[in-house]
Structure 1
Amino acid sequence: MGRVAYVNGRYVPHDHAQVHIEDRGYQFADGVYEVVPVVDGVLVDEEPHLDRLGYSLGELRIAWPVRRQVLRLILREMMARNGLERGIIYFQVTRGVAPRDHKFPAKAKSSLVITTKRLKPPSAAILENGVAVSSQPDIRWERCDIKSLSLLPNILAKQAAHEAGAFEAWLVDEAGAVTEGSSTNAWIVTHSGEIVTYPKGQGILGGITRQSLLQLAATRNLRLVERSFTLDEAKAAAEAFLTSSSAFVLPVTRIDGEVVGGGKPGPVTRQLREIYVANVDAQIRAAK
């Protein structure tokens, strides 16, 4: 069976899925999205993702395309139709179709598109050796807390990192602080044992994996600090890692070609990944 997409109330072959040329997501990037990981056929951290979707929609004054409970049912139907056991489910909501005009249309109906993608977990080599990141200037708009479709600065940063042979870009603001990655959140572990990540606010997207990891680490009395840190501090840190919905917790062992923490994943990073994976396993058991 081929891949299936959902477009505004219809399940259609993925290759035939399409939206109107005047959908404001296409014309203006006037919309938001979410990506939810799926492990063993279970949506991981589903409710926090839906909460964030609601927040993003509210900030842009876009109406929910369907009721939250209906969306939950559609997500499960999409997983079933695509036989998705491990991967991600992507859904985006735009302000809808209207003649091209910058101001909000008076009567547009929100558009909903959903797709799925199979993904393999990070390889044993990546978990054993870590990944490299490349620093890039943070040129994004000032409402990074909204999970907007407008991702061109992120794309440019990710491409620059790829061309530099790195797995991810870490974005550095005008004050010299590492804000986050182009599609991940950035963390360091200091030599005194503090686990540090940039504070939640309009300067970063509040990652759901980031949020969950903060909560899980707090229950184990680990030393968590939400503050800014510089690129130099990151390079001199005892450990560094990144978090995302698709990769969970990944060690960072090189920044701009410089070795971090001896070039191997450190004990705190390993512990945090174990904690998060155990949380995912608990969600799977609870759902089955």
Structure 2
Amino acid sequence: MSRTVYVNGEYLPEEDAKISIFDRSFLMADGVYEVTSVLGGKLLDFDGHLARLERSLTELDMEKPEAFGDLLEIHRKLVELNEIDEGLVYLQVSRGSAGDRDFVFPDPEVVKPTLVLFTQSKPGLTQGGAAVQNGIKVISVEDIRWGRRDIKTTQLLYPSMCKMMAKQAGADDVFLVEDGKVTEGSSNNAYIVKDGKIITRHLSNDILHGITRAAVLRFAREAQMEVEERAFTVEEAQNADEAFITSASTFVFPVVEVDGAKLGDGTPGPVAARLREIYLDESLKTAI
């Protein structure tokens, strides 16, 4: 059955959805995106994703799409039309198409942004499958991305390459490393736990300001867990009691191995398990 997608004001069957070959998202990766999780047919952390989208647009001097004020309604309608119980809503805004290729930004008074949304059904998203039960393995990879990782752009070639590096090494993901310190994962924020303390890199242009990250850290502090926001090394990660990653599509996934070194007894740790439980419980209370 074909999905219904949204393209510039229209709800269309996916096979009928089209944008120009001159769209700057296609030619220049000149676009930003957000992914919002759906559980029980409701959107998690929607306000946080909307605020980050607005920030990304501002940082790139990109106009808001005309339908910006209707994004909640559009998300909800797509969830309903596609009968999504557990899954994701992907949203992308680009600078649009000026009808030809040019490095210079088009005049925003003439060229309007392109807005695209679609859903992905992900049954079992709450349970998390084998990744939650057994944990994931990561390898360390040099972080050679551009310097504004805090902007959620569609420049995802290197993260895709990192996923493939991990797969080829028999692992599940990577910890990206810059100047000897872990920045984040390929598409997630990274954490270690040592002596009960949760350690994760501080916010800066070096990492994405994760919406799930913010919620998980808030819930951790409310649960009287100790949190330290600082960079950590791969060696620290290998010697940690446990580790985990967070993102909108994984919530909290435990990490059980870093560059071949098992953490603890090589099984998911209690802090990651508890944080996943708290995040799901609390986020569902405010889902819309």
Report the 3-state secondary structure (helix = DSSP H, G, I; strand = E; otherwise coil) of the residue aligned with 2:161.
Answer: helix
Cα deviations across residues 32-51 of structure 1 (Å, max 9, x unaligned)? Answer: 00000000000000000000
Residue in structure 1 matching 2:247, options 244, 248, 252:
244
The two structures have a TM-score, normalised by structure 2, of 0.95
In the alignment, which residue of structure 1 is the partner of 2:191? Answer: 187
In the alignment, which residue of structure 2 is the partner of 1:253? Answer: 256
Change over 3 Å in CA distance of 1:136–1:68 after alignment to 2: same
1:283 correspondence with 2:286: yes
1:167 correspondence with 2:172: yes
CA distance in 1, matches of 2:4, 2:67: 22
CA distance in 2, matches of 1:81, 1:67: 19
CA distance in 2, matches of 1:41, 1:259: 37
What's the offset of the Cα at 1:234?
0.2
Cα deviations across residues 4-52 of structure 1 (Å, max 9, x unaligned)? Answer: 1111111111122121010010010001000000000000000000000
Cα deviations across residues 73-117 of structure 1 (Å, max 9, x unaligned)? Answer: 111111111111110000100001112111111121000011100
Cα deviations across residues 114-170 of structure 1 (Å, max 9, x unaligned)? Answer: 110011325454322211111111010000000001111111111111111211111
What's the offset of the Cα at 1:72?
1.1
Identity %: 44
In the alignment, which residue of structure 2 is the partner of 1:177? Answer: 181
1:152 correspondence with 2:153: no
Gaps of 5+ in 1: none
Q: Please provide the CA RMSD for this pair.
A: 1.2
Check the 8 A contact 2:37/2:248 in 1, yes or no: yes
Q: Which amino acid aligns with 2:202?
A: P
Check the 8 A contact 2:30/2:95 in 1, yes or no: yes
CA distance in 1, matches of 2:245, 2:102: 39
- Structure 1 residues 48-67: aligned runs within 5 Å: 48-67=48-67
CA distance in 1, matches of 2:67, 2:7: 16
- Structure 1 residues 66-215: aligned runs within 5 Å: 66-98=66-98, 99-106=100-107, 107-119=110-122, 120-121=124-125, 122-173=127-178, 175-190=179-194, 192-215=195-218
In the alignment, which residue of structure 1 is the partner of 2:17? Answer: 17
- Paired residue total: 283
Cα deviations across residues 231-268 of structure 1 (Å, max 9, x unaligned)? Answer: 01000001101111111001100112221121011121
Report the 3-state secondary structure (helix = DSSP H, G, I; strand = E; otherwise coil) of the residue aligned with 2:265.
Answer: helix
Cα deviations across residues 186-221 of structure 1 (Å, max 9, x unaligned)? Answer: 00001x221001111100001111010111111122
Change over 3 Å in CA distance of 1:195–1:96 after alignment to 2: same
Moved more, 198-207 or 13-22: 13-22
What's the offset of the Cα at 1:3?
0.7
CA distance in 2, matches of 1:85, 1:75: 13
Report the 3-state secondary structure (helix = DSSP H, G, I; strand = E; otherwise coil) of the residue aligned with 1:263.
Answer: coil
Cα deviations across residues 42-78 of structure 1 (Å, max 9, x unaligned)? Answer: 0000000000000000000111113443111111111
CA distance in 2, matches of 1:129, 1:25: 37
In the alignment, which residue of structure 2 is the partner of 1:268? Answer: 271
CA distance in 2, matches of 1:39, 1:47: 16
Q: Which amino acid aligns with 2:208?
A: L
CA distance in 2, matches of 1:29, 1:123: 31
Change over 3 Å in CA distance of 1:249–1:15 after alignment to 2: same
CA distance in 2, matches of 1:76, 1:267: 35
Gaps of 5+ in 2: none
The two structures have a TM-score, normalised by structure 1, of 0.95
CA distance in 2, matches of 1:2, 1:262: 45
Residue in structure 2 matching 1:226, options 193, 214, 229:
229
